[in-house]
Every structure is written in structure tokens, then in C-alpha cells.
Amino acid sequence: MEILRAKAPLRISFAGGGTDVSPYPEERGGAVLNATIDKFAYATLLARSGSGSAKVHSLDFDVDAEYQAPQDFVFNGELDLVKAVLRHFHRSDAEIEIFLHSDAPPRTGLGSSSTMTVALTGLFQRYLRIPLTSYELAEMAYRIERVELGDPGGRQDQYAAAFGGFNFIEFSAGATVVNPLRIDPEVLNELAYRLMLCYTGITRYSGQIIESQTAAYRNRQAGTVEALDATKALAFDMKKELLTGNLDAMGHLLHDSWEAKKRFTEAVSTPGIDHFYEAARAAGALGGKLTGAGGGGYLLLFCDFRRRQEVAKAVTRAGGRIVDFAFCPEGVQSWAVRSVEGEWPSAPAPPPRAPSAAGGSGGPPDPFAGKQSINP
């Protein structure tokens, strides 16, 4: 039995999100500034000779599915993302099992679905020994998710997860170009200290927001077109401030980016999100924005360092939860798992639980306890 595993990093987006969604980049050119963080989507594959069947296990939500043939890979709302990947890479001479989990909850704006697509693509690249550059892997993941599955969205998430690190990514009709940014380590350390990631607890389906934005752009609604142009310009401005170490200016531009993003479509913000953001600003945040399409998820805040604790208290009182994170310089990675026994049962029995000092059940803590998780 062959056991392989892959992980891909989630990302935070500073500016330009939305300008990577077709047809805007093909017609006007798009640009985003983003960075990957130490939260990951994980995919594990067990493969043996067999009949071409596939089993999928969602470890965090205890969801299992089994497909006996390619005809079973029907898009019906259950694990459609995984089935799209299986359609693309299916082999009739192997029996496989896939285990999935992620460090972020679904529909929260960290690009978790696209990151899982990249993790799965990287996993099958390793399994099938397909020679792919980072560009080719990112574009393949994009086509699987956006074209073959038909899930609405842009390109930045796949490219961020494939490349990793701080990137300024430009989109046009002919190409996507990833520009890795070399940031002074002192600037990077200070930026990490000044940023705060707050989970609002509000989830949303980003596809509806993206479809609304795309329809408004196609109809040439002046406010939407102007807002997209503005957020693209802000991505260029923010890149300059970041590279020159002018972080306070970057924080203010983050606020401008959020104000521009709210003009994409009415669904981008909600009264609940506005409440979070206003509380953070009143407490000392220079700027901030939702990390994804909008409507909920994670709020990225840039703080006056003297008032960082006040900002944290304010968003916590508003019902949010501060999430620790660090920047991650690596993109998708895959590796072989060396099992001591040489086998890994598909449904391993839990380890025996020793009695606790109080007479109850003890044992090791759940390694996923307290984590937020997603399965596509």
C-alpha cells in the first residue's frame, strides 16, 4: 500500500481581491497582494491495486463516501470538489482512499476550498508522478474548480496556495504572473505584530456574492467598475508601501481597500460585519477588511501597536475570536508516509483510554481539538 500526504497553505488577502474574477482581468487586468499563513488544507491518499473505486473520508465532520466507478462522480452538493478532482485524475487500475481536513471553517474567506483543490492536485501529482511547475499546478487546480466543477470565483487562491509566501499576482487575458516579494525581515516581523485576524463567526456562500459582482460588472454598473479599478490601484499602492516599510500607510490603505470592496455589491458587508469593524476602528485599528469575497468570515485588522490589546478586547466583546497566525513562506508540499506496520486500516480503532486520576477516562488529547475545520 502506498500512503501519500499533501498540505497547502491558506491565505490572507490585503488588496485587489475581486479583480482576479473573470471577465474583469481579461478586459482590464487584475492585481492582488496576498500572503499565505500557517493554516493548512490537508489531503492524504492510500492507494493499492484494485478496481478503480474511491473512498473519501472527512475526518473532522465524520462524513464518508464511496464511489465504485467514474459514473458515481456526480455533482450533487456532496463533496463535489473532491469528485471534480477524482474525475480529472481517476485511474481504473487502483483502489484509493482519501482523508481530508483543514485548519479553517468553511465559507470564511481564507480560500479554503481552492486551497483544498491545490492540496488534492498536489497529492495526485505526487501519486501519478506528473511533472508540473507551480504555475501549471495552480492553473490545473483553477480549471478543475472553476471550469470543470463550475464553482464561481477567481484565480488568486489557487496561485497563492501553489506558490506560498508574499506575492503580488497580476492577471490578464494572456497570463497570470506571480511576483514573489522580498520584504525586509524587520518589516515582516513588525507587520506580523501589527496585524490581527478575527473570526467573526459569520459564514456565507461566497459564490452568490461573486456572481452578483460579476453580473454588476458585465452590466457595466459604474459603481462596481470604479470600485474594481480602485481596489486594483490600491493593490499597487499597498505593495509599494510594504516594500518600503511604510506600514502605517499600508494600514490606512487597508481601510481604503475595504471601503472600495464594499462598493462591489451590497452583499459584501452586513450590519454584523459593520459592527465588528466599527468596534475595531474605535478601539485603535487603522484599517482592516474581510479576507474573502465578503459577507462574513475572517476580519483582518491592522492595529496601532499601542492599542493592540484594546482592539482585541473590542472585537471579542463584539462576539469575535482572535486567531493566532504566522506567515508561511512555502506553497503546496507533498510527501510519502512511512508506516511502521506497513499498513493503515481504513477505519483505525481509537487508542485505549487509561483511567484518569479522578476515576474517569483519560488518554491523549484530541490533536484537532479547538481547531476549525472544513471539507469541500
The 3 state secondary structure assigned to 294-343 is: CCCCEEEEEECHHHHHHHHHHHHHCCCEEECCCECCCCCEEEECCCCCCC
* Total Cβ atoms within 10 A of residue 32: 29
Whether 37 and 111 have beta carbons less than 8 Å apart is answered as no
% of the chain exceeding 70 in pLDDT? 87
Whether 104 and 38 have beta carbons less than 8 Å apart is answered as no
CATH code: domain 2-323 is 3.30.230.120
pLDDT at 206 over 90: no
Measured CA to CA in angstroms, residue 269 lies from 260, 265, 273 at distances of 11, 9, 6
Residues 109, 291: Cα–Cα separation, whole Å: 5
Tell me what the mean pLDDT of segment 35-49 comes to.
Answer: 95
Residues 6+ apart with CB under 8 A from 111: 10, 11, 13, 156, 157, 160, 161, 292
% of the chain exceeding 90 in pLDDT? 68
Domain boundaries, the chain: 2-323
Measured CA to CA in angstroms, residue 37 lies from 182, 262, 326 at distances of 16, 25, 6
Whether 110 and 291 have beta carbons less than 8 Å apart is answered as yes
User: Among the listed ranges 46-50, 78-82, 253-257, 290-294, which one has the minimum average pLDDT value?
Assistant: 290-294
77 burial (CB, 10 Å; 0-12 / 13-18 / 19+) is exposed
The sign of the torsion formed by the CA atoms of 182, 188, 194, 198 equals positive
Predicted model pTM: 0.87
Residues 6+ apart with CB under 8 A from 302: 194, 195, 196, 247, 250, 251, 254, 285, 286, 287, 288
Tell me what the mean pLDDT of segment 302-328 comes to.
Answer: 94
Segment 77-134, tens digit of pLDDT: 889 999 999 999 988 889 999 999 999 876 667 888 899 999 999 999 999 999 999 9
The sign of the torsion formed by the CA atoms of 309, 194, 14, 138 equals negative
Residues marked active site are found at 157
Measured CA to CA in angstroms, residue 183 lies from 120, 166, 246 at distances of 30, 8, 12
Residue keyed to cell 482592539: 311
Tell me what the mean pLDDT of segment 274-293 comes to.
Answer: 91
Residues 156, 178: Cα–Cα separation, whole Å: 10
pLDDT at 67 over 90: yes
User: According to the model, what pLDDT value does residue 354 have?
Assistant: 38
